[in-house]
Amino acid sequence: MKLTKTLFLGSAAGLMAVSGAFAADLPVKAKAVEYVKICSLYGAGFYYIPGTDTCIKLGGYLRVDATLGTNSDFSGNLNVSSQGANGSNNRLTNYYTAKAREDLNIDTRTATEYGVVRTFFDGVFSWTTGNYVGTGSGTGSTAYSGALTAATNPGATTTGLFGSGSGSVNGTDGNTSAGSLGVYYAFIQFAGFTMGKAVSQFDTPWTNYPGNNFDNLVGGGGTVTGILQFTYTADFGQGITASFSAEDPTSYMQAGNVNMSGATAAGMIGGSYGSNALGGSRSPNLVAALRVDQAWGLFQASVAAHDNHVGYYGASEATGHPSDKWGWAAQLALSIKNIPTGAGDTINIQGVYTDGATRYNFQNLAGSTFSMWGTTSTGNYGSVGFASAPDTVYVAGSSQETVKSWGFRGAYTHNWDPYWNTSVYGAYGQAQFGTLAKTTLCGAGGVFTAGVAAGVTSCNPDFAIGQAGIITRWTPVKNLTFSADLAWTHLDQKYAGTVTPAATIAVPSKPAATYDLKDQDSVVMLLRAQRNW
């Protein structure tokens, strides 16, 4: 018994010793896990980044579009100069375009003794069929393989991002398994300053969309993908703010400075009134805006100054150059909320006048160069309508002459119930040329009348664009919306008679024949499914 007791006690002591050794090898007690905490300072959706006093919010959407009656996922078929087959209205023109897009935005905010420091990024990943076109079976000028170039249409400029493929802004967009990346916004806000790529201070809060999904309304500015800027905003309280901004014009705000000495009759039919002769960047656009944003709605007044700086009269410095010419634009906007027709119903309207700053009326996605081919009932082969509105025009030895324009756009939105709403919208923009342009292009011996003089009965480069549309949206569950947007665009051009050019511009499969000079129309339907998150 004594022996058994001794063995038992010895075994217990050994086990305790071994346990102590194991305990010595165990790690010290782990620190408590730092869980993500809700940040309520800046509204719903913000969380503290662990270990910091910075709040972050992630958001975005996934969107699928199908656009019927157009070569472009954002505009109608009134523009052949940027997309070749877009306005030709023949068997090489697309009758639909599709797009899938994922948007990601990242919003960070940190409270400091100087106020909130904010950064914001918004990027999109897109795949679109916007660069697909028919090629026909011909060669040379009868086949289409991309956007028209300066060689086939002198002075032609693109009117925005139109898909891609060879020679475009997003070279992989539309490839089988690739796509494109776009950076819409990337800016810092601190102590009243905004620095980076953001919506222009000239624009209204609804930018191009007073009540629509359709992108290319005229009648106001619309830098919906942001413009580089350095801005100071003073907040006077009660929803009253004033902003002063220097904004980079080179990406979106140059409608062109055209040397009409390079104009040809065939080029004019394609919407080109000469050779675009932009000089290097010299000055940002200077913008100021006053905004009153309260429960009843919003009022905004905006002004902008735009420096038109061109190259030379000819190919070298020795040919000389015109002096810079400053253009300007002014805009008024009004939004009225919760009108008596129903809860949440809204009216948004704006009007603008420009002088040498065309992009503040014919905004980037609308474009300011148009050419469309259609049918006719006169017995001639077909019809054509064309127009262009650069910022300024000139000829060798002259000063720059500004192009003036005015326009408006607006929408009324009615909510039928929490799930359905409908908007009706419209827009109008008119461009007016001066004496130099009208004499050069249309006067005695003018470029157009001399080139195709036989059938021209009226020559006037002034024009107008009218637009109207209706959109209905269904939101069956929160943040998921299906919409159908029907838009009509009318080109009211001031040319009349017929043209029988020896050769048309390089438009797919259009023969040299007699065409009536005639107004043109485009009807587009945009079908969209979008899930916000």
Beta strand residue intervals within 356-400, DSSP E: 369-374, 382-388, 392-394
State the pTM of this model.
0.85
First to last CA, the chain: 77
- Residue 203 has which token pair? 């624009």
When pLDDT is averaged across residues 464-481 and rounded to a whole number, the result is: 97
Residues in the chain: 533
DSSP 213-252: S-S---SB---TT-EEEEEEEEEEETTEEEEEEEE--TTT
Task: Give the pLDDT confidence of 3-48 residue by residue, as tens digits.
Answer: 444 444 454 444 444 444 444 455 555 555 567 899 999 999 999 9
- Strand 520-532 versus strand 480-493 pairing type: antiparallel
> Domain residue spans in the chain?
60-532
- Span 475-506, pLDDT tens digits: 999 999 999 999 999 999 999 999 987 665 56
Q: Classify 283 as helix, strand or coil.
A: coil
pLDDT of residue 358: 97
Handedness of CA 251, 201, 409, 523 (dihedral sign): positive
Percent of the chain with pLDDT over 70: 80
Confidence at residue 1, expressed as pLDDT on a 0 to 100 scale: 46
pLDDT of residue 38: 94
Residues 267 and 156: their CA atoms lie apart, in Å, by 9
Return the CATH fold of 60-532: Porin (2.40.160)
CA 58 to mean position of chain CA atoms: 23
Residue with tokens 């790690």: 27
Contacts (Cβ under 8 Å, ≥6 apart) of 412: 211, 345, 346, 347, 423, 424, 425
What does the alpha-carbon distance between residue 283 and residue 290 come to, in Å, rounded to a whole number? 23
More confidently predicted of 302 and 369? 302
pLDDT score at 506: 60
How far is 203 from 186, CA to CA, in rounded Å? 17
Residues 6+ apart with CB under 8 A from 54: 48, 108, 109, 110
What pLDDT, in 10s, does the model give residues 232-280? 999 999 999 999 999 999 989 999 999 999 898 888 988 889 999 999 9
Q: Which residues, including other chains, have CB under 8 Å from residue 113's CB and lie 6 or more apart?
A: none
Q: Which residue has the tokens 């697309």?
A: 94
Question: What pLDDT score was predicted for residue 116?
Answer: 95
Return the pLDDT at 61.
Answer: 98
- Determine the pLDDT at residue 176: 59
DSSP string, 94-111: -SEEEEEEEEEEEEEEEE
Q: From residue 111, how far is each of 34, 146, 193, 229, 230 by CA, in Å?
A: 21, 50, 15, 23, 22
Give the integer Cα–Cα distance in Å for 244 and 194.
10
- Rounded to an integer, the average pLDDT of 506-528 is 87
